[in-house]
Amino acid sequence: MQTPAPDTAAPSARALLLVNLGTPAAPTPRAVRRYLAQFLHDYRVVQLTRWLWCPLLHFVILPLRSPKVAHKYAEIWMEGGSPLAVHTAALARAVAARLPGWEVQHAMRYGEPALATVLATLRARGVQEVRVLPLYPQYSTTTTASVEDVLARAGAGLQLALRRDYHSDPGWVAAIADSIRAHWQQHGRGERLLLSFHGIPQRLVNQGDPYAAQCEASTAAIAQALGLPRDEVLLTFQSRFGREAWLQPYTQATLEALARSGVRTVDIACPGFAVDCLETLEEIAMQNAEAFRAAGGQALRYIPCLNASPAHADVIAALAQAEEGWQ
């Protein structure tokens, strides 16, 4: 076998690093268990005392949940991997084409390519300045703050700048609104428009997490861009885990109530997700769609995430080059 030639290209002085949540390497119980173990070990995600949480996680939750979650991933798995991995890599390539002179990479907070490893690679290549953009439009201590933790541990020797959120960026808002309009032009407009965001425990918001307020600000901005009154766009939260109260109203409960009230068609988008993933393709477009129909609805019409669309790549490239918003 011929040995690949070494990469002799001169490194860029500036890099953009897109960071997403992560994904299992395969739709198998073993791979899912490895991924969930890393994800759920993060104190930012589960803030329970370790002596209590770790035995519960390893001897109860992982053995029970891993096969079930693996089955869900298998239902949406793509030829190149999980949708989140495929779309994130494609988005990085599309952004790179818009940023000549920059090195554009992507990394995952959990799973591969690991954020710490990508930072080490950039440092070894002689990259000097790295702008880190977590692909979470809305800031939360459960997501963006966890990326900050890794940067603090693994970012030595790099000049790092972080974009904490872009929940009201005009370009991003316009891209979301345009995707909804395109859906309406192709399929007609449903009786309701619902925007579903990933939930977090209400306790965290009570402690000062700005996530809920930023989801509301995003929803208001998208409604305005669509020319709709704010009260014509429903804001809900999905993906609840555990027994404590999370942000409400819950997406599935809202959809079931709409169906029982006589609403037959609902258009739903997930602006908190940069690219499609398990939570959008399986939870919303499959699981919640089935629950809506079971409650008497006719069609829950899912509007895809921006993914690697030209509009999304334009937005990310513009954010990368902006002088403000980095810290």
- Domain check: are 108 and 194 in the same one? no
Task: Report the alpha-carbon angle 4-10-13, nearest 5.
Answer: 135
In sign, the C-alpha dihedral spanning 103, 106, 107, 111 is: negative
Task: With CA atoms as reference, report the closest residue to 134 among 158, 156, 107, 114.
Answer: 107
Residue 3 has a pLDDT of 42
| pLDDT at residue 13, rounded to an integer | 83
Classify residue 293 by its DSSP letter.
H
216 and 98 in a common domain: no
Spatial distance between the Cα atoms of 283 and 204, rounded to a whole number of angstroms: 23
312 is in an annotated binding site: no
Which DSSP string do the residues of 239-260 spell out, in sequence order? Answer: ---SSS-BSSSBHHHHHHHHHH
At residue 196, the 3 state secondary structure works out as strand
pLDDT value for 308: 98
Contact between residue 28 and residue 115 where contact means Cβ atoms under 8 Å apart: no
User: What's the token pair of residue 226?
Assistant: 């669509």
* Residues 18 and 108 both lie in one domain: yes
Domain ranges, residue 221: 170-303
Total H helices, total E strands in the chain? 13, 8
Q: Is 232 annotated as a binding residue?
A: no
Q: Is 207 contained in some domain?
A: yes
Q: Is residue 62 part of a domain?
A: yes
Residues 160 and 175 in one domain: no
| Judgement on whether residues 28 and 128 belong to the same structural domain of the protein | yes
Q: At what angle do helices 115-124 and 144-154 cross, to 10 degrees?
A: 40
| pLDDT at site 10 | 57
Same domain? 278 vs 180:
yes
Residues of the chain with pLDDT under 70: 1-11
Looking up tokens 């002085």, which residue turns up?
13
Q: Is 262 left (phi over 0), alpha (psi -120 to 50) or beta?
A: left
Task: Evaluate whether residue 295 is within a structural domain.
Answer: yes
Q: 298 with 177, same domain?
A: yes
CATH number at residue 174: 3.40.50.1400
Cα 172 to chain center, whole Å? 14
Residue 47: the pLDDT is 86
Same domain? 30 vs 145:
yes
Per the confidence metrics, is the pTM higher than 0.85? yes
Answer yes or no: do 196 and 160 share one domain.
no
User: Domain check: are 180 and 291 in the same one?
Assistant: yes
* Residues with Cβ within 8 Å of residue 186, at least 6 apart in sequence: none
Query: Do both 119 and 67 map to the same domain?
Result: yes
